Structure 1
Amino acid sequence: MLKNGTRGHASRKWAGGAGLVALAMIVTGCVPLQYPEAQGARTDVTEAANAGQAVRDGGDLVMALSSEPDKLDPTTSTSLYTRFVMNAMCEKLYDIDASGEIVPQLATALPEISADGLRVTIPVRTGATFSDGTPFSAQAVRATFDRNLTLEGSGRKTELGPIERVSAPDAETVVVEYSTPFAPLTAALADRAGMILSPTAIADDTTAFADNPSCVGAFKFVERIPQTSITLEKDPNYYAADEVHLDTITYRIMGDANIRAANLRSGDVHVADAISPQDADALLLERDIEVLQTGSLGYQGLTINIGNTNGTGEPVVQREGPLASDPRVRQALTMSIDREALVNSVFNNWYDPACSGISPNSPFATAASNDCAEFDPAGARALLEEAGVDIPLTVGLKVANSPDALRYSQALQASVREGGFNLRIEPVEYSTLLDMQKQGKFDLMQIGWSGRIDPHGNLATFMTTGAGNNDGGYNSAEMDDLLTRAAQLSDIDERAELYGQAVELAHRDNPLIYTYRQRNITAHSVDLAGVSTFTDGVVRLSRAGFVADKD
């Protein structure tokens, strides 16, 4: 069992932006330099070591992406890799910085929240232009909010909470009105829900937004070659174009970690994401390569399809089969997983076991959220026998066909066999895996989440009935009530108590079994400056450039 955590902080108010900043500073840390004597240490390095050096204008940067992004539409996308691309071309109302602080981006200040928590006023910048030439304004923000709340298949509706009305009283002000207070809003607007889309593009019925996306950003969309690459070019309309150095960014899809590392060493790519722990220690010793690494706010785990028969967000229908219908069987599965042994053996001790959607470093962490089922294969078998299940119970496991994911699934297969399970591993290409997840075409799926600084983004969107990421079709009135009440509170301690109760309920029902929390490991050539990666898992390239005194 993982060591239970306690909270020693004083009671604090989750009062809009100020509360978010306080939270974010606690959650994350920043170590800007990678010192030779620290090689091999698991120390956060968020920014390129040569930050501050002169950077030349021009150049074509190539980044190796470990998986193909899904649709380039912030309203519907679910992939971390889509966020990489979108980060360069779709700015948000807010962002997080290297220290985890919430900072304005298209907004000009943190939100002003009324005393009753029902009215949120957001000031937005002037003088910005979308890549298609449409002027940015508060009306564009309102149009994006409306789309996020009403578009079929939107993954953002739950993230935005119980909004009653969004208005733009003038070009520089957005007002969001709620039926009940909703504390996580600013955190949501620092991610996809806060990416503002061109109203001209979203009104165009002849072209899907994902096929020709238009936002305010340092770069604009050029082309996408499916399963091969996505290319962006510098946007001359960008309000801070003088801060952008590169001519183009090309994201090449390279699913094999060994191939990404080899292309980085050869110079064929300049940046590579999701470096495998199998390669990380060796890359730390390379003179021409720098490794960035941060802890993660997210997790990897197993999603169990309990009631998703018609697609995510559709009315749930209880599925048949012991894993879907009997919580004792799901409890037996989590008891069959030796989390610590698996991460140490498969990932060279780079990653940590995980047992909930709340990071132990979060101020929302409690003894309840840090608690974990003990590895108890004998107890697991006893539960299966009590449930009347024939042993071994065979279950199909959908998993991405990347080497790390396959290596972990094979080790997991061996681990749970002792507890009475026979996992049938079914490798699937990552973008196809995401489609199957949304369509409910799985029994058990190994997949993760890059994480958000507010627990609402890690829990409610996955376990609230009908939520945009509730891909397992979990349906619990008790869980809905806990997560709804937690989002209405401003006090961190009070919210943490409710989230702890939600985790305890999740540990009883096990709609999602958490397995490990990875580090975000990115590598880049040393002749680059301005590359950064934060605890949200996103690699940022919009201000990257080649150092002036190097070829």
Structure 2
Amino acid sequence: MLTAGMLTASSTPVLAQQPGSVITVATIGEPPTLDPVGVTADLVSIITQHVFETLFTFDAEWKPVPLLASALPQVSADGKSYTIPLRSGVTFHDGSAMTADDVVASLERWTKLSPRGKSAAAMIEGIAAKDGTSVVITLKEPYAPLIALLAMNNGAAVVVPKAVIDGANPLKALTGTGPYKLLEHKPDQYIRLVRHDGYASPPGAASGYGGKREAKIGEVRFVPVPNAATRVSGVLAGQYQFADSLPAEMQSRFKTTPNVKPVIVKPFGFPLMIMNTKTGVLANPKLRAAILQAVTPGDMMLAGFGDPAFIANEGSIYGPGTVYYDAASAKAYTQQDPKKAADAAKAAGYKGEPIRIMTSTQYDFLYKMSLVAQAQLQAAGFTVDLQVLDWATLLQRRGDEKAWDSFFTYHTFVPEPSLITVLNPSYPGWWDSPAKREALAAFNREQDPAARKQKWVTLQSLFYSEVPTIKVGDFYNLAAATDKLKGYTPTPWPFFWNAELAN
């Protein structure tokens, strides 16, 4: 599932662990927080996954595997009790040993603060330590997505010392168990992570995010570089050893620079035009349906990426070849008609109110898509107020239900549909109709894979009839790295343990 070119492991002697080695990573901007629990922003996940860890993670085939747990849970026959054994010898960055009490406190915090944790909380009867070596999660009813939710690295159920948890407030200290620890953070300048010498790696061969983790590079430095062209120029000049989220059309610049290689992740994700179903003009589902008729996703995808090799005009939330692919319930994706959209908007009672759309140039492809959407909506008779914000401001403002009507973002591929943020009623957009609530509950209760597929079709049908969000298509991510970076594993959320820099 995770593919990319030209970056492979090496056993060359010059790649021995280098305590003083530093990799500088150019990211799309300044993260809004370094506490990964309360937000689902990928930028936060990319950085904080080096510092904090969860009980489980995903391997190269997107299967859940143990991380801080020593094995997958023992699940009771009725599906309501999950007993999770914990690894011994795990220490936090402050030198203290991880205990079952730390895990319980961390999971309870997750259920209160995380959008993902809140969705699980409704199903959780209790969380308790057992014999000091395991944790038991008791459910009110069977809940199939639980392990995947515990493994996800954004809105993450990270384990921290109980002593640094201050109720619903921010952590008293950013103390985790990961292979790197926070050394210094200068907002809008850099975040410096250094090797945690007391790190206890999970056993087994490295696979995806699972298995062995070794901090071979002494320091990972994340630098916010909002302008995509600047990220490209910097990696070509050797200022950065890795640059993330680059415009597809810039791949050609790497062909004449032998010391920089493209990194392509496929599948990667899907752009979304999320609508406010709770407040404002788009709380009317008929008007949201008119918006879907007015915009052409294929035009937005081509404008956003330029190169057709990086995109697929696919309406099914899960594409061909995946378990949950279903074309029939996504037919509305290709049924655009500006005239019918204008008529539908008028019938829905639209009187020219501004549609406030938030976007950001820090994700160049999202900005270009928003320009196309603006033009197509205006052509169908809508009034559009396009608001161009920095990404951190957009993330902050989207939590205010009165501040916007729509915003552009993207979702990274996830193996479990319940991990898709727009299904969570607490995620901005707040999709929570009675029909959707019932369909999602039925899907989450179902344990049989074939039956889950059919219940997912019901959910996707609601996605296109109630139109809480427009899926724009599928895209593949382009990054770039120095050819001195060896052992790097291309993934949707890039990580740098197990990688090393050649002398």
Alignment TM-score, normalising by the size of structure 2: 0.90
CA distance in 1 between counterparts of 2:443 and 2:482 reads: 44
Deviates more, 1:189-198 or 1:141-150: 189-198
Matches within 5 A, 1:298-377: 298-307=269-278, 319-321=279-281, 323-325=282-284, 327-347=285-305, 348-349=307-308, 350-355=310-315, 357-373=317-333, 374-377=335-338
Q: Does 1:190 align with 2:161?
A: no
Q: Does the 8 A contact of 2:274 with 2:469 survive in 1?
A: yes
CA distance in 1 between counterparts of 2:150 and 2:10 reads: 28
Partner of 1:288: 259
Change (3 A) 1:132 1:332: same
Q: Does 1:449 align with 2:449?
A: no
Secondary structure (helix, strand or coil) at the match of 1:89 reads coil
Partner of 1:177: 138
The alignment yields a C-alpha RMSD, in angstroms, of 2.4
Deviates more, 1:58-67 or 1:414-423: 414-423
Partner of 1:201: 164
Change (3 A) 1:89 1:176: same
CA distance in 1 between counterparts of 2:2 and 2:365 reads: 27
Q: Does 1:144 align with 2:106?
A: yes
CA distance in 2 between counterparts of 1:272 and 1:354 reads: 27
Partner of 2:234: 263
Question: Which segments of structure 1 move beyond 6 Å, counting only runs of 4 or more?
Answer: none
CA deviation string 1:514-538 (max 9, x = no partner) = 212221222110101132232xx20
Unaligned runs of 5+ in 2: 202-211
Matches within 5 A, 1:521-536: 521-534=478-491
CA distance in 2 between counterparts of 1:233 and 1:368 reads: 50
Q: Does 1:128 align with 2:90?
A: yes
Q: Could you tell me which of 227, 243, 248 is aligned with 1:272? A: 243
Unaligned runs of 5+ in 1: 1-28, 35-47, 308-318
Partner of 1:398: 358
In structure 1, what residue type is equivalent to 2:302?
A: N
In structure 1, what residue type is equivalent to 2:108?
A: D
Partner of 1:478: 435
Q: By how many angstroms is 1:161 displaced?
A: 5.5
Matches within 5 A, 1:384-533: 384-390=345-351, 394-402=354-362, 403-440=364-401, 441-458=403-420, 461-464=421-424, 467-469=425-427, 471-533=428-490
In structure 1, what residue type is equivalent to 2:332?
A: C
When the two structures are aligned, how many residues end up with a matched partner? Answer: 483
Q: By how many angstroms is 1:128 displaced?
A: 0.9
CA deviation string 1:41-87 (max 9, x = no partner) = xxxxxxx2244444232301110011322211122122101101111
Q: Does 1:538 align with 2:498?
A: no
Question: In percent, how many aligned pairs have the same letter?
Answer: 22
Secondary structure (helix, strand or coil) at the match of 2:36 reads coil
CA distance in 1 between counterparts of 2:167 and 2:377 reads: 51
Q: Does the 8 A contact of 1:366 with 1:497 survive in 2?
A: no
CA deviation string 1:209-249 (max 9, x = no partner) = 2x731110110012222222211111122124993212211
In structure 1, what residue type is equivalent to 2:72?
A: L
Secondary structure (helix, strand or coil) at the match of 1:539 reads coil
In structure 2, what residue type is equivalent to 1:199?
A: K
Q: Does the 8 A contact of 1:400 with 1:429 survive in 2?
A: yes
Partner of 1:11: none
Change (3 A) 1:285 1:437: same
Change (3 A) 1:119 1:305: same
Q: Does the 8 A contact of 1:358 with 1:369 survive in 2?
A: no
Q: Does the 8 A contact of 2:102 with 2:161 survive in 1?
A: yes
CA distance in 1 between counterparts of 2:120 and 2:233 reads: 39
